[in-house]
Amino acid sequence: MVRVALIAHDDEKPEMIDLVEAYEGVLSEFDLVSTGTTGKRIMEETDLTIDRKQSGPLGGDTQIGALVAEDEMDAIVFLRDPLTAQPHEPDISALLRICDVHDVPLATTRTAAEYVLDGVAADIEME
Q: Please tell me which residue in 18, 31, 61, 91 is annotated as part of the active site.
A: 61
Q: What are the tens digits of pLDDT across the range 9-60?
A: 889 999 999 999 999 999 999 999 999 999 999 999 999 999 999 998 899 9
**Is 9 known to sit in a ligand binding site?**
yes
What pairs with residue 78 in β-bridges? 7
- Full-prediction pTM beyond 0.85? yes
**Is 108 known to sit in a ligand binding site?**
no
**Is 59 known to sit in a ligand binding site?**
no
Specify the pLDDT at position 51. 98
Euclidean distance between CA atoms 119 and 77, whole angstroms: 13
Torsion sign (Cα): 45, 46, 47, 51: negative
Q: Could you give the dihedral angle defined by the CA atoms of residues 31, 24, 110 and 119, in that order, rounded to the nearest 10 degrees?
A: 60
Q: What is the 3-state secondary structure (H, E, C) of 19-67?
A: HHHHCHHHHCCCEEEECHHHHHHHHHHCCCCEEECCCHHHCHHHHHHHH
Q: Which domain holds residue 29?
A: 3-126
DSSP 1: -
How many domains, in total, are found in the chain?
A: 1
Is 11 among the residues known to form the active site? no
Euclidean distance between CA atoms 109 and 15, whole angstroms: 10
**Is 56 known to sit in a ligand binding site?**
yes
Q: Is the pLDDT of residue 91 over 80?
A: no
CATH number at residue 108: 3.40.50.1380
CA terminus-to-terminus distance, the chain: 12
